[in-house]
């Protein structure tokens, strides 16, 4: 699918035409908003409706329109070019945010701007209609495009732009449409009406396949469908290894609306409720009662299962305007997460009070992110106990015995895990940040992405040390980074002694399925072997071999969770 090519070149206008150009800008934005509202009417899926609603908000965003208006009035440029400039600034600001989810929102801003620019160029933004079921190749797809596209007829979707957490990827996951995003160079290679196979599990696109390839994929498609059915059927069964070791599998969520999918996928509660999004989305600081209402809904939806609320992992460049963004040279080593909360204790106290109150409505725990030392835990505990006293005095129901855990995600916490284990009720290892800090690899930097090896001996040793320290003090350990959903890492994590795995809801059934295929004794053996090699490639092949041995009959087990988009 290709759009009319819209040049957004710098076009100057006469000074006396500025007023009319500003009106054109607002009219075009209003028309696009109406189109989006119409598109929204036509969809049933709540996620889809929400995404379109977010595009409607961008469309009306005063920052976007006022800043474009200022460009028009100050520089006497066309509305299209003014939007282009404003879009560049907004996207640069989004890209600087230390959060892949929010960085992918750049795509949303660009899509909305593209729509308004199309309107200004005089096009109504219509996507080419397709009648027969087809694979759709596109530069990018917005959720509103998706409505016009009749997604029911799309067999698979491949886009040139985008990342794993773009709204397109989220939407296709919800709609169970095989999709590959970020396939650069594809538009130059593919031809209209050509036969194409999309292997979204492995991330391969076969253009013009031969008969043998075609037959092979038809066979695999059938096998995969059966395998998926089997995995889904087991979603509500416990995750118990063949030698009867029970592993808890919980879900990671960021928003209240994900609660349903936690239940549908058979997760045993929420192992990581990231709480940043509410703060970043909110215009001012969220109030205690607003936070409490959200947390209570989440706690009640899962009760009696546990919900672990992670306190704000905010700070550095991950701050909204309302938090007076601090410009730091090294934000990753700056005033973030628990450091930010201990500096802004009023914000922290409000959140703690909301979580404590939600504790009276379900089974709730508190988790502190980015802990580097004992003092941080002790200070946080002191503030939590003060909040408990306040709530008691005020007569507000709360959980005065709420469990308190910490995330282990920086090397200093690993080194003093024994002391930390004596201070708290549980650990959760955030392997995303742990690998980032331990291997000195910026999570967002594609130049050093090749160094990201979850089974690097340093990471494996760190996890083992943390688990051993925790177990010696009688507390449990969960793994809540991406490693928990990586089938290659799963047997090693079990062998290292992880008690709980926590991952995005859609990965839960597969994780449970894999656990049921493994024997803890074999995992212990494997972990011991992995810990004896300094060669990551050797560790990876040991794990692959072990998995093939155990899961020989499975279909594409090793790619299922990595490449679903
Ligand atoms: C982690 O660091 O592994 C983690 C789970 O936290 P986040 O990805 O939210 O930083
Ligand atoms: Mg983290």
Q: Over its length of 565 residues, how does the chain's per-residue pLDDT go in tens digits?
A: 444 333 456 778 888 889 989 999 999 898 888 888 887 776 666 667 777 888 888 888 888 889 999 999 999 988 988 988 888 888 777 777 766 666 667 777 887 888 888 788 765 544 444 456 788 888 777 656 665 566 667 788 888 776 554 556 656 665 667 888 777 777 778 887 788 888 877 778 888 888 888 888 888 888 888 888 889 999 999 999 999 999 999 999 988 999 999 999 999 999 999 998 888 877 789 999 999 999 999 999 999 999 999 999 986 555 555 555 556 778 889 899 999 999 999 999 999 999 999 999 999 999 999 999 999 999 999 999 999 999 999 999 999 999 999 999 999 999 999 999 999 999 999 998 999 899 998 766 656 766 778 899 999 999 999 999 999 999 999 999 888 988 889 999 999 999 999 998 988 999 999 999 999 999 999 999 999 999 988 898 888 888 877 776 665 443 333 233 2
Per residue in 101-113, pLDDT (tens digit) is: 666 677 778 878 8
Any atom of ligand 1 within 6 Å of the Cβ of 480: yes
Ligand 1 pocket, mutate which of 274, 277, 477 (most atoms under 8 A from CB): 274
Q: Cis peptide before 304, with omega less than 30 degrees from 0? A: yes
CA dist 428 and 425 (Å) reads 10
Any atom of ligand 1 within 6 Å of the Cβ of 430: yes
Closest-lying ligand 1 atom to the alpha carbon of residue 252: 5
Judged by DSSP in three states, 317 sits in coil
Task: Report the predicted TM-score, pTM, of the whole model to 2 decimal places.
Answer: 0.68
Closest-lying ligand 1 atom to the alpha carbon of residue 409: 2
Distant-in-sequence, close-in-space partners of 439: CB < 8 Å, separation ≥ 6: 451, 452, 453, 456, 458, 459
Burial 394-423 (b: 16+ CB within 10 A, else e): eeeebbeebbbbbbbbbeebbebbeebbeb
CA dist 316 and 334 (Å) reads 6
**Catalytic annotation, pick one of 273, 341, 469, 480:** 480
| pLDDT for residue 327 | 64
Q: Measure 108 CA to ligand 1 centroid, in angstroms.
A: 23
| pLDDT for residue 289 | 97
Q: What are phi and psi of 140, to 5 degrees?
A: -160, 160
Q: Measure 260 CA to ligand 1 centroid, in angstroms.
A: 22
Q: Alpha helix (H) ranges present in 201-302? A: 211-233, 259-264, 276-281, 288-302
Note the ligand closest to the C-alpha atom of 308.
1
Any atom of ligand 1 within 6 Å of the Cβ of 47: no
Any atom of ligand 1 within 6 Å of the Cβ of 104: no
Q: Measure 479 CA to ligand 1 centroid, in angstroms.
A: 10
| pLDDT for residue 165 | 46
Contact 364, 399 (CB under 8 A): yes
Ligand 1 pocket, mutate which of 275, 432, 454, 482 (most atoms under 8 A from CB): 432
Closest-lying ligand 1 atom to the alpha carbon of residue 429: 3
Q: Measure 292 CA to ligand 2 centroid, in angstroms.
A: 23
Closest-lying ligand 1 atom to the alpha carbon of residue 482: 3
| Catalytic residue list contains 59 | no
- The residue written with tokens 């392997």 in the block is 431
Any atom of ligand 1 within 6 Å of the Cβ of 409: yes
Q: Measure 302 CA to ligand 1 centroid, in angstroms.
A: 22
CA dist 150 and 304 (Å) reads 40
CA dist 357 and 374 (Å) reads 26
| Catalytic residue list contains 558 | no
| pLDDT for residue 386 | 98
Any atom of ligand 1 within 6 Å of the Cβ of 99: no
Any atom of ligand 1 within 6 Å of the Cβ of 105: no
């Amino acid at each position: 699918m290709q759009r009319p090519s819209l040049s957004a070149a710098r076009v100057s206008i006469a000074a006396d035409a500025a007023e009319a150009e500003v009106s054109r800008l607002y009219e075009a934005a209003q028309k696009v908003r109406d189109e989006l509202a119409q598109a929204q009417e036509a969809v049933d899926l709540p996620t889809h409706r929400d995404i379109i609603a977010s595009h409607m908000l961008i469309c009306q965003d005063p920052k976007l329109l006022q800043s474009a208006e200022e460009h028009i009035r100050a520089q006497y440029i066309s509305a299209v070019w003014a939007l282009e400039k404003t879009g560049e600034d907004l996207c640069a600001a989004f890209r600087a945010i230390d959060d892949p989810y929010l960085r992918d929102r750049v795509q949303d801003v660009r899509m909305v701007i593209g729509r308004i620019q199309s309107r200004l160029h005089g096009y109504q933004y219509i996507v080419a209609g397709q009648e027969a079921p087809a694979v759709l190749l596109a530069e990018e797809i917005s959720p509103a495009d998706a409505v016009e596209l009749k997604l029911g007829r799309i067999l698979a979707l491949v886009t040139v732009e985008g990342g794993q957490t773009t709204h397109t990827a989220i939407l296709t996951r919800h709609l169970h449409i095989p999709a590959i995003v970020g396939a650069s160079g594809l538009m130059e290679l593919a031809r209209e009406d050509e036969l194409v196979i999309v292997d979204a599990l492995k991330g391969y696109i076969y253009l013009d396949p031969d008969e043998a390839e075609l037959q092979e994929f038809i066979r695999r498609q059938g096998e995969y469908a059966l395998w998926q059915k089997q995995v889904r059927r087991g979603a509500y069964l416990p995750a118990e290894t063949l030698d009867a070791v029970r592993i808890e599998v919980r879900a990671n969520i960021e928003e209240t609306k994900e609660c349903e999918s936690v239940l549908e996928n058979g997760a045993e509660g929420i192992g990581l409720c990231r709480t940043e999004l509410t703060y970043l989305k909110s215009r001012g600081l969220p109030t205690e009662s607003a936070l409490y209402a959200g947390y209570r809904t989440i706690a009640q939806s899962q009760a009696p299962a546990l919900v672990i609320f992670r306190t704000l992992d905010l700070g550095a460049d991950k701050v909204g305007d309302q938090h007076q963004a601090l410009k730091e040279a090294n934000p990753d080593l700056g005033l973030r997460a628990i450091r930010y909360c201990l500096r802004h204790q009023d914000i922290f106290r409000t959140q703690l009070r909301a979580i404590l109150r939600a504790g009276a409505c379900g089974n709730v725990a508190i988790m502190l992110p980015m802990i580097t030392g004992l003092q941080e835990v002790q200070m946080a505990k002191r503030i939590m106990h003060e909040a408990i006293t306040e709530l008691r005095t005020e007569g507000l129901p709360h959980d005065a015995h709420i469990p308190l855990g910490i995330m282990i995600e920086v090397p200093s916490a690993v080194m003093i895990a024994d002391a930390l284990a004596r201070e708290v009720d549980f650990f959760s290892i955030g392997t995303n940040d742990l690998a980032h800090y331990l291997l000195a690899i910026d999570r967002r930097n594609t130049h050093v992405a090749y160094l990201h090896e979850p089974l690097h001996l340093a990471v494996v040793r760190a996890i083992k040390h943390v688990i051993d320290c925790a177990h010696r003090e009688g507390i449990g350990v969960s793994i809540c980074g991406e490693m928990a959903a990586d089938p290659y890492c799963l047997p090693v994590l079990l062998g290292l002694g992880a008690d709980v795995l926590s991952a995005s809801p859609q990965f839960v059934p597969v994780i449970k399925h894999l656990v049921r295929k493994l024997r803890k004794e074999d995992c212990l053996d494997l972990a011991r072997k992995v810990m004896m090699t300094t060669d990551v490639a050797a560790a990876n092949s040991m794990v692959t071999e072990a998995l093939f041995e155990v899961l020989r009959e499975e279909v594409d087990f090793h790619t299922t969770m990595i490449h679903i988009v």
